[in-house]
Structure 1
Amino acid sequence: MLKSMILLAQIVMPALVKSQSLNDTVKLNLQDVITIAKAHSTAAVQAATIRENQYWQYKTFKSNYSPQLMLDGTLPQFSKTNIPVVQPDGTVQFKPVINDNSQLNLGLTQNIALTGGQLFLGSNVLRFSDFNSKQTSYNGNPLIIGLNQPLFAFNALAWDKKIEPLRYEESQRKYNEDIELVGRDASELFFSLLIAQINKDIASKNLLNNQTIYKIGEGKAALGRLSKDELLRLKLGVLNAEKAVAQANVEAETSDLQLKSFIGFAANNQIQLILPENLLTFEVDKEVAIQQAKNNRQKAIEFKRALLEADKDIAKAKGENGLKVNLYGTFGLTNVADQLPGIYNNAKDQQEIRLGFQIPILDWGRSASRIKTAQSNRKLVEATIKQAEINFEQEIYTTLRQLEMIKQQMQTNSEANHTANERFEIAKKRYLLNDLSITDLNIALQEKDQARRDYIFSLKSFWNAYFNLRVLTLYDFVTNKKINGNF
């Protein structure tokens, strides 16, 4: 289905470009407008850009768990200055020095998600040159292996590993929702223009009918068969019809520009919309709709992520406010030489281990307050999510009830539209035969127009409810398939 929709957009858009040069009218049905909007509208481009941004953020997150290789250094660090030198008798003399310190470090680091620590492997070399004594020496560590491990601390890496994949999955679902929202918004604008075009057509036909009736009325008045008052009423009907045509033209032009702007059409192109009277037939089980919404929508992931983030805040408050211990240790080789290769010959081993700690003794309840605040926020998030889940399901139930009610009204409105049209034609013939008053004719005209509008509005309500159901569940109940917004 996606391939056919993309193909349709590829066919319609070139045809539009060609018609723009010819200034022709393009006929579009509802599916045409939605397909073009999903492929070319600014809203669709924004949704795709946001999804792409989330993808690269997720790639950045994953890189935190991969080895990082880095080369850094200082080449050179030249210095020519005077430095204070303390003499044996305690006095200070300033001695001129001219030297260069160059350093090169190559390091490989690996974060440990399970413990929150970091393993590192490195090698470095330092070159020192004294230009006064014309001496050069090298110091280096051919190999260093080390561990930097916080103990009893908050482990951000472990929590991110739980939360960030959910955030990424949430962004993918949100993109699908955003694309369906584009379709729903396109449907709204489609019907706004369609209703405006139909109102324009009704106004034009009414003007023609009123002009015809007025001309007949003038003939009757000339024969003395129509009073001056009735003739003036007929003339007033023509004037009101002219005002209705002018107003309908303005509304149609406004709706036309809004739809073109949304789907990316040029303003000089003419669009004629096709009435979507062929309704879709499908059945929706409420429980299936709820389950599909939970499986497919962003909200379901958002609820889970929000709870995890609240738990993360509690763990962070506890980890940062209690006993802090950090274990640091290295093992490696070191050497000093007059020439660079010499530092790699007969290198001596070196070790370093350090255990640091920090214990809060008196903080006036600050640590406890932070933990209580995080726990309170967690309760608030949980309560908010429970209410949101209720609203989540209620919105779907409401949409399904509306859809069923609209389906029932469709047949009635269709029959009323046909009946009102037939009645008006009969009323017009009776009026021409002097068998009906102008008041009854106007009533028949108003009923015809209202029945037509009611029918169009019921069509609009059906399609809007259908597209809203797609947004709420991200499921197509016509094909019984999950909706994927990838274009």
Structure 2
Amino acid sequence: MKKTSFLLGIMLCCSLGSFSQGEIRLSLNDALNLAQKQSLQALLNKYSYMADYWAYRSYLADMLPAVSLRANPLVYSNASELRYNWETQSDEYVRTENLLSDLNLSITQKVAATGGAFSIQSELGRVENFGKNSYTQYSSRPFRLGYQQQLFGYNDLKWQRKIEPLEFEKAKKDYLQSSETMNLTAIRYFFSLINASIQLEMAKTNLENSDKLLVVAQRRFELGTVTREELLDLRLANNNARISVQEWEMYQREAKESLLNLLMLPLDIELDIVIPDELPVHEVDPQLVLQKALENNPEMLELELNILQQQSNVDRANRARHFQADVSLSYGLSKDDGSYLGSGTLGEVYRPEFDTYKQVAVGINIPILDWGRNKGRYEMARSQLEIAQVAASQSLQQFKQNAITRAVAFNIQKSRVESAALSDTLANESYELTMTRFSSGQADVLRLTSSQKAKDSARLQYISTLSDYWINLYTLRQMT
């Protein structure tokens, strides 16, 4: 078994080694899939969503009945305590020694509509006193029903019930949007490498052509058909072409390493980049884009949540200005057994003929004089709410306009790409003809240089337009 595992380990290492030193043919879809599966940003997006998911699960669990068991098995005390002596009508220290035990089982249910909480409890206590009159006493409350409620106060549970589901819905949409943001990052890195590779390819081609033309120009200079100034210009262009090759080799390496780091691939892999010439989407409906953006973009929920938060703050500040009361009600059964006259038994405290247990507590809070502090907080909260509502209206209007504008702008991307591709083809053919004419003495250096610049510019413009198409496409996906 160990031998088999060892051989498998060697095979795995060999396969990884050959993979890391090989070449990968990488299309745009391949890059997007790798970015979503194994990039660090994709992992961070997942963990961020899971944190929001468990926060929402905690909220849901908090609204369910909570069952808890509290116990103090042993509490031993041997100390002097201050007690009142009825015979002498004075306080005096008395040495006591006892052993206490208690057990409490409770079930609590919050009520979001009112902000209160119901509770059901069952308690059992035992005390064993030592000394001259040693005895054991038991006390039970088999059943106690209680309810706590804040009257006229701020109901935090009611606002949580409105806000928490929207927070989780926003978290889900944020996760989907972050995936599209990850796609946009991968597209930019992908086309950055394409641009650097094409720049390097053009620099090498220009250097190769410059070497050939320099030989032709030297021959024509000897024949007197090229001036010395034109020959020097070609030598300068040849030297600049060599410098350009060195620079773009460095830029291309940096762009490749950036893409490999994003995709979590070994840096020694050679990439064969496939230019995405096929356009999957030619036109979109601006109204449909707007509809989907309003339905799915988390920014809409962000605006709604901001207004809800401000409304919650207004409610809190408003209720703090007025009369408030806390009410606590409880009813149950209780029974004790045992005293200094004789020890009790555990079974006795659970036999019928229980005593009833009742408790009512009311607490009030009336602000009398606060020098306008609560009123100021209320007015400030109202102002913040009005600001949030105006800002939400403005943001919504800008969002709608931006969605329509991006959809309309995308619809002309296809024609821009086609025009740029045609310009690239024409400029390349023109340069080939100009080179031929220069070799035969029918074109001068100025015309040749101008044609070369036009060719390079058209090629780069095509790649830039193609990049704009894909970025605009995935920006629409991110928005909707």
Match of 1:362, SS state, is coil
Q: Which residue of 2 aligns with 1:138?
A: 138
1-structure distance, mates of 2:266, 2:426: 39
8 Å contact from structure 1 (residues 331, 349) kept in 2? yes
Residue equivalent to 1:417: 424
- Residue 347 of structure 2, aligned match among 341, 349, 373: 341
1:289 Cα deviation from its structure 2 partner:
1.1
CA distance in 1, matches of 2:297, 2:106: 43
Q: Secondary structure at the match of 1:292?
A: helix
Structure 2 residue runs of 5 or longer lacking an equivalent are: 1-11, 338-343
Partners of 1:129 and 1:135 within 8 A in 2: yes
Match in the other structure for 2:66:
68
Q: Which residue of 1 aligns with 2:100?
A: 101
Q: CA deviation at 1:313?
A: 1.3
The structural deviation recorded for 1:307 is 1.8
Structure-2 separation of matches of 1:262 and 1:394: 33
Equivalences for 1:159-198 in 2 at 5 Å? 159-198=159-198
User: Structure 1 residues 19 and 191, CA, compared in 2 at 3 Å: closer, same or farther?
Assistant: farther
Aligned to 2:298: 298
TM-aligned CA deviation for residue 362 of structure 1: 2.0
- Contact 2:283/2:410, CA 8 A, preserved across alignment: no
- In structure 1, the partner of 2:3 is none
Q: Does 1:247 align with 2:253?
A: no
**Shift in Å, 1:335:** 0.9
Q: Which residue number corresponds to residue 208 of structure 2? A: 208
* Partners of 2:20 and 2:266 within 8 A in 1: no
1:401 corresponds in structure 2 to 408
After TM superposition, the score normalised by the length of structure 1 is: 0.89
Task: Return the alpha-carbon distance in structure 2 between the equivalents of residues 237 and 255 of structure 1.
Answer: 26
Out of 39, 42, 51, the position equivalent to 1:41 is: 39
Partner deviation per Cα, 1:289-337 (whole Å, 9 max, x = no partner): 1111111111122222222222211111222331112221111111112
Q: How many angstroms does 1:97 deviate by?
A: 2.3
Q: 1:58 corresponds to which residue?
A: 56
Partner of 1:428: 435
Aligned equivalents of 1:393, 1:401: Cα separation in 2? 12
2:327 aligned residue: 327
Counterpart code for 2:292: Q
Q: Is the 8 A contact 1:84 1:93 kept in 2?
A: yes
Let me know the Cα RMSD of the aligned residues. 2.0
Q: How far apart are the structure 1 equivalents of 2:428 and 2:213?
A: 17
The match for 2:111 is: 112
- In structure 2, do the counterparts of structure 1 residues 26 and 295 end up closer, same or farther at CA, with 3 Å as the change threshold? same
Looking at structure 2, the residues matched to 131 and 456 of structure 1 have their Cα atoms a distance apart, in angstroms, of 93
Which residue does 2:125 correspond to in 1? 126
Does 2:156 match 1:152? no
Number of aligned residues: 458
> Any gaps of 5 or more consecutive residues in structure 1?
1-13, 474-487
TM-score between both structures, scaled by the size of structure 2: 0.91
Structure 2 counterpart of 1:367: 374
Report if the CA contact (8 A) 2:286-2:408 is conserved. Answer: no
Question: Matched residues in 2 for 1:364 and 1:452: separation?
Answer: 73
Q: How does 1:14-29 map to 2 (within 5 A)?
A: 18=16, 21=19, 23-29=21-27
SS of aligned partner of 1:76 = strand
Distance 2:43 2:95 in 1: 65
Q: Distance in 2 between matches of 1:85 and 1:359?
A: 36
* Corresponding position of 1:388: 395
Contact in 1 for aligned 2:285/2:407 (Cα 8 Å): no
Q: Quick one: distance in 2 between partners of 1:374 and 1:93?
A: 56
Residue 231 of structure 2 corresponds to which residue in structure 1? 231
How far apart, CA to CA, are the structure 1 residues paired with 2:184 and 2:226? 53
